[in-house]
Amino acid sequence: MEWLVAILDFIGQQILNVPAYLIGIITAIGLIALRRSAGQVIGGGLKAALGFLILGAGAGVVIASLDPLGELVLAVTGAQGVIPTNEVITAIAAEQYGAQGAYILTLGFIVMLILARFTPLRYIFLTGHHMVFMSIMLTVVLSVGLGESGQWAVVPLGAILVGVIMVVMPAFAQPWTRKITGDDTIAIGHFGTLGYIAAGASGQAVGRRSHSTEAINFPQGLRFLRDSMVATALSMVLIYWVFAIWGLIALPLDEALAIFGSADVGAYIMAAFGLALQFGVGVAIILFGVRTVLGELVPAFQGIAEKVVPGAKPALDIPIVFPYGPNAVLIGFIFSFIGGLATLGVIAAWLNPVFGLALILPGMVPHFFTGGGAGVYGNATGGRIGAMVGGFVNGVLITILPALLLLVFGELGFANSTFGDADFGWFGALIGSSFLGGPVLGIVMSLLIAVILVVAASIFQRRVVDTGWTPGKRRDEYLAAQEAEAKEVAARAQAEAAEPAQTRAGAKAQADTESKPDNT
């Protein structure tokens, strides 16, 4: 029987314990369940595995560019500087936690299907990269919280938590999503949902008389910021140069130059520029790897979901709402970045010295996608003011919450990156905090949190979503009345303008009649 033990050990250690191979196998199983051809199964499995390997290669590029920046920030501020980028921290964490994360991803999808089938929360979360991010994030948090003796519980507990969060968050956001899209056919499946809800609620509070952002004509010169790769590279150049110049001012020259291995100031500045672009290259590689994985994994999951929960709403990625407010996207992005900078200043001046929170440097990827989404949600209920305030609130959330998440990340918290979107922060910090009293209490508290979320979301679905509640209704009524009044004024002015012309035409006709000879 030694040969059987050796085979099982080989399968367990060399195949199932390698995240890329495991993702490929999971994809192949999903394609088999959909009765795809042998060629499609093999090709899909290989592409998914290759995508995961590409993701790891991109992570290596990003880490190489972040390490000098982390050293520079620490040298000039004395605090740990962290750039929140989901793809980067996922790729870093996957080296240690990838296999467990893959199991949690698969089982969590099954838990989501069960909840969608047997509760009022009939949503199917189909944003595959966020499934991967949440699975890896919870794997890290649970592994740290449970310790060596509790590793057996990481996968089942993580699967329950992932399945729960994937059905409850689309439900909580649905009234605002429905307000944006105008119908109830789709939902939002993106883990920046707390920021979108906060943006919608903020817009409703402050923008009751504000008109839509889509009445604004933005200069063409700013539209390049909609390209996330360009925006990321530009922002990283600014961040590197700010801290590079700060280093020249705050540190002895030799010490500052040594951080980038430069011979003079000119080479030092250009080294910072090159590292910033290298970060952008690494993120681009990671994104390509993620898209490659998802191009095969999501169709396999989606086909299975359609058979298990017919009629459920698909919960899709946040860019699905961008066409409903292109100007709001840009406004939300800009004000989210401003909110992030303002909160960074608060952390640097107060929260870091007092509570030891890390400096969360503004990352363009989370600020663009979640800030842009927050702008659309804020605009839907509060117009231009809502887009600005909603974006700003989102920027505050995605700066504070990642800093709190780092507190429960253990040694991985020193990787100079973290998860950037709001739901990763609050959910990860909440679950991680439940383990402060020990593994057993942490498991009980985590399950209790899951139950509370499902019950609360089900009640919200029944009493709010299903009853047709519409946020921002007063603003709609005010704008409708204002529009009706404007039309009435315009019609009156048009009638008044037409009246003299009619009078003149009548007088001319009468004069013509009188001037004609009488032939009777």
292: which residues sit within 8 A by CB, 6+ positions away?
47, 48, 50, 51, 54
pLDDT at 492: 81
For residue 246, what are its two tokens?
């700060």
Report yes or no on 398 lying in a domain.
yes
Question: Cα angle vertex 430, ends 400, 448, to 5°?
Answer: 160
Domain of residue 127, residue span: 2-229+280-488
Q: Which helix (H) or strand (E) holds 355?
A: helix 352-355
Domain assignment of residue 263, yes or no: no
**What are 469-516's pLDDT values in tens digits?**
989 887 888 878 887 877 888 788 887 777 665 665 665 666 666 665
Within-domain flag for 241: no
Whole-number percent of the chain with pLDDT over 70? 86
Domain-embedded: residue 252? no
- How many residues would you count in the chain? 520
The domain total for the chain is 1
Q: What is the pLDDT of residue 274?
A: 92
Spatial separation of the C-alpha atoms in residues 19 and 297, rounded to whole Å = 14
Question: How far, in Å, CA of 431 to CA of 453, rounded?
Answer: 12
Q: What angle do CA 16, 431, 338 make, to 5 degrees?
A: 105
User: Which residues, 6 or more positions from 419, have their beta carbon under 8 angstroms from its beta carbon?
Assistant: 84, 86, 89, 90, 133, 137, 402, 405, 425, 428
pTM of the model: 0.77
Element (H, E) at 188: strand 187-188
The whole-angstrom separation of Cα 51 and Cα 349 is 41
Residue 517: helix, strand or coil by DSSP?
coil
Q: Which residues contact 344 (CB under 8 A, 6 or more apart)?
A: 359, 360, 361, 362, 399
Residue 268 lies in a domain: no
Q: In whole angstroms, give the CA distance from residue 372 to residue 267.
A: 36
Question: Residue 161: its pLDDT value, please?
Answer: 97
Domain presence at residue 237: no
Q: Are 256 and 76 in contact (CB under 8 A)?
A: no
Q: Which of 422, 332, 338 is nearest to 384 (CA)?
A: 332
494, part of any domain = no
Q: For 165-191, what is each residue's pLDDT tens digit?
A: 999 999 999 999 999 988 888 889 899
Interacting residues of 502 by C-beta distance below 8 A, sequence separation 6+: none
